[in-house]
Structure 1
Amino acid sequence: MASMKRILHLLCRYISIAISLFQSLVLCLFDNFDYPILINLADAFLSFYFITFCDLRPITVDLNDGETTVHFWVSGHRRNNRPDLVMLHGYGGNSKWQFIHQVSDLSKSFNLFIPDLVFFGNSHSRNTERTVEFQARSVVGGLKRLGCSEGGLAVYSISYGGFVAYRIAKMWPEMIERLVIVSSGVGFTQQQKMTEMKKHGGDVSEILVPRSPRDLRMLVRISMNTGIAFIDWVPDFILSQFIAVMYETNRKELVELAKNLLEREEDAEFYAISQKTLIIWGDKDEVFPLEHGRRLHRHLPNSSIEILKDIGHGVNIEAPTTLNNLITSFVLDVS
């Protein structure tokens, strides 16, 4: 086993060196070349994977006379014998990058509706509102345009997406039948949010909306408990390309969303939802520690909680198979 780990480590280092040499060659051939070609190629490959292997189709929905545009990935063949599952991502890229390890399995059991939240991926707006309520209205508006207005939906959400999903369940209870919340600080008071952010130092925007490879490495280390060694051998220029593609276009709006989330004070009625809810948490979560997951569970009488051992905040990356199985069993009511 130790020998295999050394081989994998060396392989990763050789790949890193090869990529760095490739960058040097490109820079020699093209002065001032800074186009994020590798990340754009990877993003295009993910689109190909979603379409070809997961039977998903990209759909763009315009709301309020084009003021807001919400991009969705939707099952290409919606089947009546499968329940509808909405998947809401958190910070850290668009829906493709966050759900890459999950869509293949989940597409076999559900009709999937996967939006890019506004200002992430290909969703954008001229609206100046930066609240969770605005995100919820945008997602619901898009879902209704796609024919999901009769209710009975299941929603799986992670981190920032959990705030949005919870608000949808509160504002449109008739639409949501079951709710899965993963590693989300739903119900945090302003003081609790500030306390957690201070543990990691710096402004929240520096953590959630990284500017440099160093910032992105720190975000990965905070978000994950296992499998984080890879971030050490990824060359800086690739991380810079990822930042350019995922954050630069809407950096101002993403920072404003994060600040609004941090500064808002949740009211006591925020807990008053009736949907059957599954809470999933990693016991090594450094963003929203497990005690907050337990507290949310206590406030929701119609909830259950699953705690994953040795898993951090990024459950969708660290334990996707376990997460998929829990979501599937809960939504399909398989005991």
Structure 2
Amino acid sequence: MASMKHVHLFRRYLSIVFTLFQRLISCFFDFPILIKIADSFLSLYFLVFCDLRPVTVDLDDGETTVHFWISGHRRISRQNLVMLHGYGGNSKWQFVHQVSDLSKSFNLFIPDLVFFGKSYSKNRDRSVEIQARSVVGGLKKLGCVEGGGGISIYSISYGGFVAYKMAEIWPAMVEKLVIVSSGVGFTQQQKTAELKKHGGDCSKILVPKTPMDLRLLIKISMNTGLTFVDWVPDFVLSQFIAVMYEKNRQELLELAKNLLEREEEPELPVISQKTLIVWGDKDKVFPLEHAYRLQRHLQSSRLEIIKETGHAVNIEAPTTLNNFITSFVLSA
């Protein structure tokens, strides 16, 4: 009897252990702990190795909060460089391969655009212009644009639309502009044609909901470099989606819809700033032909093409891109 009692007791304890283990594993997989840890390490990297500091500013409109990473020790001798990200996560994840080098040459101001990362607004406007005004409002709060000038902007993809609008509205503030892989000036017909190539659903392309959607976004954006994504477990990709997209999913979809479905102006305004255009020759999002068209539109521009590189130049060729940005912005 005693032995049977011990057996039942052992089974009971074993059942409790298995239940606790199962719940622990379930929590580990359901809660985005892996991406949260990775995001924390990225913050530590920005702080320790890149001398960047997180700052959150409330704008005067009483509706908008913009989160920045800025140089911890700004130097008067260095030029101010604003870095504007695209879709695909927050500014940390998109610029992690670039900030270390660029922080050695510039005073950096790196905002999360509204509804990305820690930036948010109660404003119902989803236009590119409201993004531009939010960035400029934040820069003014940080004292970056005191005196009415002195900034250069490096922008990629969606950030390029925002940067172009900033250069258009505040020409005295923006001295130089770097546009990388951005469909500025795309007509409605061109947008529709490009979307059809990838299934036509912007929600699946720009705001992924499933691991399959995220894999599609990566494959469209990359030419080489992230082929291992097929081997990444679904639960890891699901955690990335949960951290980067779920909180403001509806707002991100509305931003994408505004960008892709709104009618462009009859003719793209010509900005006066010196502009560097950088493109990957294998870009599947905005084909290379558009880079040539944008260069012809802007007389004060030059085009650099990076071979065997896709849309995400910042990830596939960060060193080459950094060299282009540094030499262009610091040139007389």
For residues 31 and 313 of structure 1, the distance between their equivalents in structure 2, rounded to whole angstroms, comes to: 37
TM-superposed deviation, 1:191? 1.0
Query: Which residue in the other structure is 1:194 paired with?
Result: 192
Q: Deviations over 1:276-317 (max 9, x none)?
A: 000000000000000001100000000000011110000000
TM alignment of 1:133-282, pairs within 5 A: 133-149=129-145, 150-282=148-280
TM-superposed deviation, 1:27? 6.5
TM alignment of 1:32-111, pairs within 5 A: 32-33=26-27, 34-111=30-107
Query: Which residue in the other structure is 1:132 paired with?
Result: 128
**Do the aligned partners of 2:132 and 2:162 also contact (CA within 8 Å) in 1?**
yes
- 3-state DSSP class of the match of 2:192? helix
Number of residue pairs matched? 311
For residues 319 and 21 of structure 2, the distance between their equivalents in structure 1, rounded to whole angstroms, comes to: 40
Q: 1:113 aligns with which of 109, 113, 124?
A: 109
For residues 20 and 206 of structure 2, the distance between their equivalents in structure 1, rounded to whole angstroms, comes to: 31
**Do the aligned partners of 1:88 and 1:155 also contact (CA within 8 Å) in 2?**
yes
For residues 26 and 210 of structure 1, the distance between their equivalents in structure 2, rounded to whole angstroms, comes to: 32
For residues 19 and 102 of structure 2, the distance between their equivalents in structure 1, rounded to whole angstroms, comes to: 41
**Do the aligned partners of 2:192 and 2:200 also contact (CA within 8 Å) in 1?**
no
TM-superposed deviation, 1:152? 1.7
TM alignment of 1:285-304, pairs within 5 A: 285-304=283-302
TM-superposed deviation, 1:227? 1.3
TM-superposed deviation, 1:141? 0.3
TM-superposed deviation, 1:28? 1.9
For residues 31 and 224 of structure 1, the distance between their equivalents in structure 2, rounded to whole angstroms, comes to: 33
TM-superposed deviation, 1:64? 3.0
For residues 263 and 27 of structure 1, the distance between their equivalents in structure 2, rounded to whole angstroms, comes to: 49
Q: Deviations over 1:109-167 (max 9, x none)?
A: 00000000000000001111000000000000000111122312100000000000000
For residues 258 and 277 of structure 1, the distance between their equivalents in structure 2, rounded to whole angstroms, comes to: 25
Moved more, 264-273 or 108-117: 264-273
Identical residues among aligned pairs (%):
73
**Do the aligned partners of 1:271 and 1:300 also contact (CA within 8 Å) in 2?**
no
Q: 2:24 aligns with which of 30, 50, 61?
A: 30
- 3-state DSSP class of the match of 2:56? strand
TM-superposed deviation, 1:265? 1.9
Mark the runs of 5 or more structure 1 residues left unpaired by the alignment: 1-23
Moved more, 101-110 or 265-274: 265-274
- 3-state DSSP class of the match of 1:85? strand
For residues 266 and 328 of structure 2, the distance between their equivalents in structure 1, rounded to whole angstroms, comes to: 27
Question: In the alignment, residue 72 of structure 1 is paired with which amino acid?
Answer: F
Q: Deviations over 1:238-284 (max 9, x none)?
A: 00000000000000000000000001122145332000000000000
Summarize the Cα distance change of 1:192–1:104 in structure 2 as closer, same or farther, 3 Å threshold: same
TM-superposed deviation, 1:84? 0.3
Question: In the alignment, residue 306 of structure 1 is paired with which amino acid?
Answer: E
TM-superposed deviation, 1:29? 4.2
Mark the runs of 5 or more structure 2 residues left unpaired by the alignment: 1-17
Question: In the alignment, residue 30 of structure 1 is paired with which amino acid?
Answer: L
